[in-house]
Amino acid sequence: MKEIKPEEVAKKVKNNEDVSIIDVREDEEVAQGKIAGATHIPLGDLEDRLDEINQSKEHIMVCRSGGRSGKAYQFLEEKGYNVQNMTGGMLEWKDDVEK
C-alpha cells in the first residue's frame, strides 16, 4: 500500500498542487471539517460513484483514522486507479479544514 503522511498532503495543498483528495468519511464527520478541496465520497458510495473519479490522476484517500481509506485504497487499486492512503487520517491532520 502506498502511503502519504498528513504533513506531505498539507504541503501539496498549500503549494496549490493539482492533487485529488477523496474523503470517504460519513456526512456527519465531514460536516465537522475536511481538507480544503477534498471530494467527499462516503466509502459505501464509492462503487456507485466511480465515474466521478478520474482514472488518469493519482488520488489520496482520507478518513478519520486510516482504516476506511485503506479499504477504499484497496478497492480502487483493484479497479486500476493510482491511489495513496493518508496515514493516521483526519485524527493526524494538523492544518486548516473547510466546513
Active site residues: 63
User: Hey, what amino acid is at 17?
Assistant: E
CB 91 within 8 A of CB 85: no
Give the residues across from 82 on adjacent strands. 58
Question: Residue 6: which H helix or E strand, with range?
Answer: helix 6-14
